Amino acid sequence: MAHFEDTGEGEGTDASTMRGRGWPSIRQFCVFLENRVGRLHDLLRHLERHDLRVVGLSVVDSVDYCVIRIILHDVDRAREIFRLSKFTVIENDVLGVVLSDSGQPFIDIFLALMSAELNISYAYPILFRHDGRGAMALHVDNIDQASHVLEAKGHTLVREDDLLNDWM
């Protein structure tokens, strides 16, 4: 194994990961299910048995199969439970945004992203009790850029730690 010595010269590199720095995304689990009666119930009961709270849920169906997009309050625990389960699951990032008190919070968010030429693939509500306001999950084509744009416009982003702390 190679050994590298830090001489203290030159520019330093921040070795922390983006998630370690409070990366402004939320992990979403996409669960593939057979599109038949009771399968969504089976999934939700499985999560309930492991004390996982559903924070966001979206169902995209077709004739034979459906994709359940689901956000849970404890991502690390959820990942482990899914790893040990019979469900077919993939993970991806979505951006959580607290809805403002303005008259049209959706328009404010979408206008900010549109002005930066960022595309929204899909959006759905999430349960987040910050000051009694709602929040939504957005799947955008560039989370890093979208988070900078939204924060610059004064929007509050929801992080995974926020979800965990909200349900403790």
Using alpha carbons, select from 140, 141, 132, 135 the residue that is nearest to residue 159.
Answer: 135
> What superfamily in CATH does domain 94-166 come from?
ACT domain (3.30.70.260)
Largest CA distance in the chain: 63
CATH 3.30.70.260-classified regions of the chain: 94-166
d(CA 63, CA 132): 38
Is the whole model's pTM more than 0.95, yes or no? no
CATH fold label, 24-92: VC0802-like (3.30.2130)
Cα dihedral 40, 45, 46, 50 in deg (nearest 10): 140
pLDDT one-digit tens code per residue, 95-138: 999 998 878 899 999 999 999 999 999 999 999 877 778 899 99
CATH 3.30.2130.10-classified regions of the chain: 24-92
The DSSP element (H or E) to which 135 belongs, if any, is strand 135-140
Three-class SS state of 22: coil
